[in-house]
Chain A
Amino acid sequence: MADVAIPRAKPQMSEDNAWTRLKHNRNWLGFWFMVPAMAFLIFFLAYPLGLGIWLSFTDTRIGRVGHFVATENYEWLWDDSIFWLSVFNTLLYTFVASALKFAIGLYLALLLNENMPFKAMLRAMVLIPFIVPTVLSALAFWWIFDSQFSIISWSLKHLGLINQNINFLGDTTWARICVIFANIWRGVPFVAITLLAGLQTVSPSLYEAATLDGATRWQNFRFITYPLLTPIIAVVMTFSVLFTFTDFQLIWAMTRGGPVNATHLMATLSYQRAIIAGQLGEGAAISSAMIPFLLAAIMVSWFGLQRRKWQQGENND
């Protein structure tokens, strides 16, 4: 044993030297390793982000270089009722869809966490809506919500609940309900599977101890599951809110903002103004107007997370 240990001891001493020798060029090495990623992120993310804010202060159109017009675009938007309608729609869409995604996702995660046959297969099937490209499933919803040949209208009629077809995507209220439903349908698997991963880290002995002490199922959930899940809930919901708020493809495939702009979100409105109508400056102003909302959403969940950590007496790591 001893003669095995001796040759190992020697390199360990020089190992420190190897590390210290590398230290002075480590920063440069790090720099070269970072070049490809940074090049992409600077040229195609940071620069366009700044350029977008600059564009929103100009009157650029497609094919024409713009001039600085100060806040004219924003003043114009301030008086634009369609813009305010899109803000309202976006907030409604984000709030309702995120709240329901959270509720249903958490419920589904709790159900999937139970012990039952075919568990792995069920979990795999639940995630399929998340895998399929959003636009393609939105087209399926478009067909399901068709005004004449909707399978839902047909079923309800045959059950005797309604007399004539529901004009799902032609009526303002129904159209909003339909796009929100499609968004929830698409988002629930993500929320459920990530929360499920969080649930599996909760030790079952906690539930056993609580049950012995006479806790009900609700108390188990409220005082064990929920507090332990809070950090992961905060992260998942930040992402969920962020992606719902900036949603584009679902709306574009299902309604293109119609009927009468009832489902126009800020993202779809900015696409319509900037690319279809050619008013790049105005479109950029609309998308820049999303930034404060996004920052607010990130802040809320970030500080929610911090507060929870502080309550649990953990270090911020």
Chain B
Amino acid sequence: MTDLPASKVDLKAVLSTSARVDNSEGMSYLQSVPRRLVTLYLPLTIIVVVLLFPFYWMALTSVKPDDQLLDLDRFNPFWTWNPTFKHFHKLLFESYYPHWLWNTMYVAICATILSIIASVLAAYAIVRLRYKGANLVGGLIFLAYLVPPSILFIPLATVVFQYGLFDSPLALILTYPTILIPFSTWLLMGYFKTIPFELEECALIDGASRWQILIKIVLPLAIPGLISAFIFCFTLCWNEFIYALTFLQSTSNKTVPVAIVNEFVDGDIYRWGSLMAGALAGSLPLVILYAFFVEHYVSAMTGAVKE
């Protein structure tokens, strides 16, 4: 009973980043070192540098003094010897940025919790209650995953307006689950399928209700899956743009991505520093979260695709 979750984590680790050290070594001895340098390390270095350069540039720009930002002749643009926190100071104390950060966090957490609750119930019902038509409903939920927000935002704007939710965070909290539920339901369905049936049968015999089984047996065993679903949904919420752009109007209600695009882009030629500082500060929470849960991210991504 207690070693079950542990063994599941192991399985996932094998599946995702840590790889099969034992057999991937297999035939690499056939390649000489110079050959590996050219066919492996060189292209890999180029790709990784290209992938990470924009973040370096973002970070560098956000700490550069204004005069160095625009004077490319006197200063080497790839480095700065006198970093400044002026842009961050401006961001935190002279703009609504903390507000926006709070809005984004608030909307993301509420929408994620709502979606996870709805998805847990739906996934459990589809996988384990197997009511009539459960497979059909599972298929429909997968189809819902394929409906993109950019064809829904216009009618949703009218719906949001009708319900009087326009310009309130509630509009986002209620609409984001349409993106998150299909994804997390499919992810959790995969997890619930791996939990042995017998555990539930035993509990049923002992007189547990379905609700007790779900709360006391299935959920504790599916914690890795719940974490994956939670952080992935959170990331999707943070990343969402078009709904937030359409449904919110007043400056103080906006989320970080929308606010930065709309409020920071003025005619000021020196805007780049604070713009990049804003982008960096908006990305950092997700990158930190990611650093702690790499395995869960990967299993969330691949899990939803493999189903």
Asked if A287 contacts B52 (CB within 8 A), the reply is no
Which residues of the other chain, A, contact B55 by a CB distance below 8 angstroms? 128, 132, 137, 140
A296 interface residue (CB < 8 Å to B): no
Cα-based distance from A143 to B269 in the complex (angstroms): 12
Which of A18, A52, A146, A242 is B155 in contact with, Cβ under 8 Å? A52
Q: Which B-chain residue is minimally distant from A184 (CB atoms)?
A: B50
| Chain A 256-280 interface mask (CB, 8 Å, partner B; 1/0) | 0000000000010011001100001
Q: Contacts A34-B121, A113-B24, A189-B51 hold; do A127 and B155 have CB atoms under 8 A apart?
A: no
How close is A164's CB to chain B, nearest CB, in angstroms?
13
Asked if B298 contacts A197 (CB within 8 A), the reply is yes
Interface residues of B in 221-263 (CB under 8 A from A): 235, 238-239, 241-242, 245-246, 256-258, 260-261
Asked if A134 contacts B241 (CB within 8 A), the reply is yes
Which stretch, A169-177, A222-230, A247-255, touches the partner chain B? A247-255
How close is A69's CB to chain B, nearest CB, in angstroms?
16
How many inter-chain contacts with C-beta < 8 Å in the A-B complex? 309
Asked if A11 contacts B297 (CB within 8 A), the reply is no
Which residues of the other chain, A, contact B23 by a CB distance below 8 angstroms? 204
How close is A62's CB to chain B, nearest CB, in angstroms?
8
Which of B130, B137, B204, B275 is A143 in contact with, Cβ under 8 Å? B275
Asked if B150 contacts A270 (CB within 8 A), the reply is yes
Asked if B305 contacts A235 (CB within 8 A), the reply is yes
Q: Contacts A18-B204, A34-B122, A143-B61 hold; do A125 and B18 have CB atoms under 8 A apart?
A: no
Which of B117, B131, B275, B298 is A26 in contact with, Cβ under 8 Å? B131
Q: Which A-chain residue is minimally distant from B15 (CB atoms)?
A: A197
Dominant secondary structure of chain A at its interface with chain B: helix
Asked if B287 contacts A131 (CB within 8 A), the reply is yes
A22 interface residue (CB < 8 Å to B): yes
Q: Which B-chain residue is minimally distant from A153 (CB atoms)?
A: B72
B20 interface residue (CB < 8 Å to A): yes
Q: Which A-chain residue is minimally distant from B279 (CB atoms)?
A: A136
How close is B86's CB to chain A, nearest CB, in angstroms?
17
Asked if A135 contacts B132 (CB within 8 A), the reply is no
Interface residues of B in 36-58 (CB under 8 A from A): 40-41, 43-44, 47-48, 50-52, 54-55, 57-58
Cα-based distance from A15 to B208 in the complex (angstroms): 13
How close is B218's CB to chain A, nearest CB, in angstroms?
12
Q: Contacts A136-B282, A140-B54 hold; do A280 and B48 have CB atoms under 8 A apart?
A: no
Asked if B204 contacts A15 (CB within 8 A), the reply is yes
Q: Contacts A119-B19, A232-B306, A271-B242 hold; do A246 and B151 have CB atoms under 8 A apart?
A: yes
Which residues of the other chain, A, contact B156 by a CB distance below 8 angstroms? 44, 48
Q: Which B-chain residue is minimally distant from A52 (CB atoms)?
A: B155
Asked if B47 contacts A104 (CB within 8 A), the reply is yes
Asked if A197 contacts B155 (CB within 8 A), the reply is no
Cα-based distance from A148 to B125 in the complex (angstroms): 58
- The list of the 3 closest CB pairs from A to B, nearest first, reads A30-B131, A33-B125, A246-B148
Residues of B within 8 A of A (CB): 14-21, 23-28, 30, 40-41, 43-44, 47-48, 50-52, 54-55, 57-58, 61, 69-70, 72, 77-78, 114-115, 117-119, 121-122, 124-126, 129-132, 134, 137, 141, 144, 146-159, 174-175, 177-178, 181-182, 185, 201-202, 204-205, 210, 235, 238-239, 241-242, 245-246, 256-258, 260-261, 272, 275-276, 279-280, 282-283, 286-287, 290-291, 294, 297-298, 301-302, 305-306
